Every structure is written in structure tokens, then in C-alpha cells.
Copies of this chain bind each other. A is one copy, B any other.
């Protein structure tokens, strides 16, 4: 086993900047969400996904996609949201194995309230130091990396798909 070709400093810089930027942002945002509506970031993402979905409802599996990495993790969060009345869960009409998750009015209200401070914070922390052009460039580059990772085959090729299929 030989020494790996080292990354050059430009590459390393970009990697570390990504890690620290997202870590700082995530931490700040989680705190805000917790203070505002008692939501974890994952819960916030789930509510936001539902809000975007047609009819403000989605199957558990479709909801999981892109947010959570295990089935049981989704069940855990969905139950928590249901307990708080932010979401309802009903067996799906067409496929009786499935569960439809739907945003309640209270869920919608809670989301809107959380979004208030959320948007303000993201604006202050993330967009403030960038020009509109730069924001667009950054978004474009990150989107390409994201798309590449979405389709990247896990190196230690896991045979079966779990919660996180094609998309």
C-alpha cells in the first residue's frame, strides 16, 4: 500500500472550507430552529419537504429521500412530529404497505414561523458576504458536486438499496 497522491493545497482548502462552512452554518441554524419552534434540523427539512409536496403529503419512503439515511430514523422523526400534531400519518389508499404523511395546519404554521428566523439567519450568515453573481456561481458548483455524489457508486459497493434510492 503506497502513500496516496496527496491533495494539493487548493483542493484541501476547498474541502476544509466546505466542512467548516457547513458545520458553522448547520450549528447556527439548528440553534435558531430549536429556539424558534423546537424543531431539529431534520424535522425542519421533513416539514419543508412536505410543504413543497403536492397536496402537502408524501409517502414515508419518498419523504425520506435526501434527508435521512435509515428507515428507522425516519420512523423516529415522523412519530415525533405526529406526537406534536404537526403531521398526520395514514395508510395509503393504493398501496396498503405505505403510509401517507401529511402536513397539518399546525405543522404549516410552525414551519412558517420557523422559516421566518431561518431565512433571516441564512441571509446574514451565508449570503451577506457574497455578491449575487458569486452566489449563483457557488450554487452552480455545489449543485454539480451534489449531483455527482448522488449518483456516485459507494466504493465498498453495497449491494442493496436502503432508504436512499435513485432519485
| Interface 9-mer from A91-99, A101-109, A138-146 | A138-146
- Given known pairs A10-B136, A66-B20, A136-B14, the reply for A144 and B129 (CB within 8 Å) is yes
Contacting residues, chain B, for A127 (C-beta < 8 A): 7, 11, 14
Give the complex CA separation of A91 and B143 in angstroms. 47
Give the complex CA separation of A68 and B142 in angstroms. 25
A153 to chain B, nearest CB (A): 10
B148, A128: Cβ atoms closer than 8 Å: yes
A54 in contact (CB, < 8 A):
no
A53 in contact (CB, < 8 A):
no
B146, A7: Cβ atoms closer than 8 Å: no
How many copies of this kind of chain does the complex include? Answer: 2
Residues 22 to 37 of chain A near chain B (Cβ within 8 Å): 22-28, 32, 35
| Interface 9-mer from A55-63, A76-84, A113-121 | A113-121
Give the complex CA separation of A25 and B142 in angstroms. 12
For A125, the closest partner residue in chain B by CB is: B149
A24, B142: Cβ atoms closer than 8 Å: no
B4, A116: Cβ atoms closer than 8 Å: yes
